[in-house]
A and B are shown apart, each in its own frame.
Chain A
Amino acid sequence: MNATDKLRAAFARALYIDSGRIADELAYNSIPEWDSVAHMALVAELERTFDVMLDTDDIIDMSSFGRARQILAKHGVEF
């Protein structure tokens, strides 16, 4: 499983949505499943999956699936 697939799977687990719904454009608050509570659960899932610790600015800035990939890349995850 490559890093993008791992990221998609992490999103699906944290947001309780089908991975088929996850694309770069999927944005925070654009679906009922991705609210502020789910966002913090998503952060925890991403940190566990990729063994990183995100900065507070990253959490606030993580506004879409595509942006999450960019932020994780900044923390050394290779996509």
Chain B
Amino acid sequence: MLLQGKVALVTGAGRGIGLTTAAVLAREGAHVVVTGRDQAQLDGACAGIAAEQPAAQLTPLVCDVSRPDSVRDTFQAVFKLTRKLDVLVSNAGVLDDALIGMVTEAQIRRVFETNTFGVLYCAQYASRLMQRAGGGSIVNLASIIGVTGNVGQAVYAGSKAAVIGITRSLAKELAPQNIRVNAIAPGFIDTGMARSIGPDKFTERVASIKLGRIGTPEEVARVALFLASELSSYVTGQVIGVDGGMLI
């Protein structure tokens, strides 16, 4: 198993890509701290993983990454529980599209506080826990939209482009501590978030994918596993597209 004896924390793990990533990391032997904003959803996520993997080591913790105090309390709890952290997958994200003339300040704040500020808050604590253990791997979930931009998604694109800048900067800053930092830029992945765009846009998006189909959360999670594990021991500061050859 690739992550035997490792401790991993996944944000936004109650559903979608985060949930699948938590399951994949647990399958590879990691003790996974499963975090999200909704306790009931986290309990359900852990129960689902445990049903398929009875030996999985899972710890659900409520964490709202947009709130520094919540992130602080979560990482303090991890410290008390395990005294270390080897892997952070910063996956928590929100999507709130609108044409630029109709974007509210509240929308901008909500999207950036979760998608961007949350990545920074988590990296602050995770990097120090990782340093104690001699290194680690941070995997940030960006988006193809943060690379290419898209109509009606200026706010979301900005928040995810920032994640790429954060990733590349932290890769340089944390390399001396043997902490690798990489990002994944998923394309169109079959989650509740993707389904929320409506049937017409959904069909249009799938038509723009060279592989001719939507991606699965498992396909993103397997790249997260690669970046989390020693399989990628010489990879840092990279943004890996998982998009089936999508064009926007």
Binding site for B on A (CB under 8 A): 43-44, 47-48, 51, 53-56
Contact = CB atoms under 8 A, between A and B. Distances in A.
B60 to A, nearest CB: 20
Chain A interface, DSSP helix/strand/loop, else mixed? helix
Interface residues of B, number: 13
Nearest to A44: B131
Q: Which 5 A-B pairs have the closest CB atoms?
A: A53-B79, A55-B72, A56-B124, A44-B131, A53-B76
Interface in B60-87: 68, 72, 75-76, 79, 83
Nearest to A56: B124
Chain B interface, DSSP helix/strand/loop, else mixed? helix
A43 B132 contact: no
A54 B124 CA distance: 11
B89 interface: no
B125 interface: yes
B132 A44 contact: yes
B128 A43 contact: yes
8 contacts: A43-B128, A44-B128, A44-B132, A53-B76, A53-B128, A53-B129, A56-B68, A56-B125
A47 B72 contact: no
B174 to A, nearest CB: 10
B156 to A, nearest CB: 26
Nearest to A55: B72
Nearest to B72: A55
A27 B220 CA distance: 47
B16 to A, nearest CB: 28
B50 to A, nearest CB: 28
Contacts of B128: 43-44, 47, 53-54
The interface centre, meaning the residue of A43, A53, A54 with most chain B CB atoms within 10 A of its CB, is A53
A53 B131 contact: no
Contacts of B124: 56
A56 B125 CA distance: 8
Given A43-B128, A44-B128, A51-B83, 17 more contacts: A44-B131, A44-B132, A47-B132, A48-B132, A53-B75, A53-B76, A53-B79, A53-B125, A53-B128, A53-B129, A54-B128, A55-B72, A55-B76, A56-B72, A56-B121, A56-B124, A56-B125
A75 B132 CA distance: 18
A55 B68 CA distance: 10
Contacts of A44: 128, 131-132
Contacts of A43: 128
A48 B131 CA distance: 10
Contacts of A51: 83
A23 to B, nearest CB: 27
Interface string B103-145: 0000000000000000001001100110110000000000000
Nearest to A75: B76
